[in-house]
Chains A and B, each alone.
Chain A
Amino acid sequence: MLRVLPSVARSLASSLSVRPLTSKAQAVTGEIVDQNRESRVIKTVLGAVNDQIEKGTHSRLFAVIYLHGKQFKVTAEDIIAVNTVMPVGIGETIRLNKILLAASTDFTLIGRPLLDQDLVRVYATVIERTLGHEYRIFKFRQRTRYQRSYFYRQNYTMLRINGIEIARPIDQ
């Protein structure tokens, strides 16, 4: 006899068709019949995900990428503006390595904190390098003749996301 949480006992009862537990007092102590349940569930769930990945039947993918201190949720054909100057020429394609999350409609892969580099691949093309609008920073103090104004323009690199792909089955 093992002491398990009531919800675990309830879900076990529903999944394994054990004798239904009616009252709360009974639910506190449940009996685990199937010792291999956890590995069996993992196998079936991962099998269903891997099946989609191998056949390519999953829906459009999206990913959360980490780039220059900021996080972007991207899918294919997106444009993102990154607040930096990248040492990459216009029209060159790069691969974004830091991926925090990748998902489709049916499954979600959550990196802790990052997903494996060989698992998910995100490609992007640099389409533009430009400057943002002009910030004016105006400083002014009353009754003293102090006033200064400074100007600043941010650098932006525009990236087109070419595509997201899951390269291999997960957990292998």
Chain B
Amino acid sequence: MVTLTSVLAHWVKTPANRYWKRRRVFIESGHFYGRSRNCYAIAIRRLEKAWTNAKHGRADLKKTTSQTWQSRISASTESLGLNYFPFAHGLAHQQVALGKKVLADLAWSEPRSFRSLVELARNDACKDPAHIGEPNENVILGSEGVDK
């Protein structure tokens, strides 16, 4: 009998290794359709494709969520008579650092706060002579929130 070191013994092919190798794959392919669920050679190919798809999907998700937020914000601002880009530019000019995620949330859940943000941006945009619009008188620029 050949006695192997613990390092080499790890690489010995036994029926037990074969079983667990397959089992690890079948656990993940359990919800596939047809023979790709239970036949190893098909399952592993399907699974590798699924993993690469998931990897690309994670990158795409970031892009699509960002687009969704932007379209939600622009829908709300346009109903108040201001386009998205003057709104975003006005907020940036007024040093308001709210992000797209929060603005999209405020647009549907807190309409009054969102309206005040739009008025703030509109006040800023009205200083531009190219912009045709009316400033709102109710915006109060106090010294409270300004970063000193």
Contacts and interface: CB of A to CB of B under 8 A. Distances in A.
Is B one of A's binding partners? yes
A100 interface: yes
B48 A138 contact: yes
B142 interface: yes
Contacts, number: 94
A138 to B, nearest CB: 4
Contacts of B140: 41-42, 45-46
A169 to B, nearest CB: 10
Contacts of A11: 137
A64 to B, nearest CB: 5
Interface residues of A, number: 39
Interface string B76-111: 000000000000000000111111011001100110
B20 interface: no
A113 B95 contact: yes
Given A64-B102, A112-B145, A113-B147, A103 B97 contact: no
A73 to B, nearest CB: 5
Given A105-B112, A140-B52, A115 B144 contact: yes
B18 interface: no
B120 interface: yes
B142 A64 contact: no
B48 A140 contact: yes
Interface of B: 48, 51-52, 54-55, 58, 94-99, 101-102, 105-106, 109-110, 112-113, 116-117, 120, 126, 134-135, 137-138, 140, 142-147
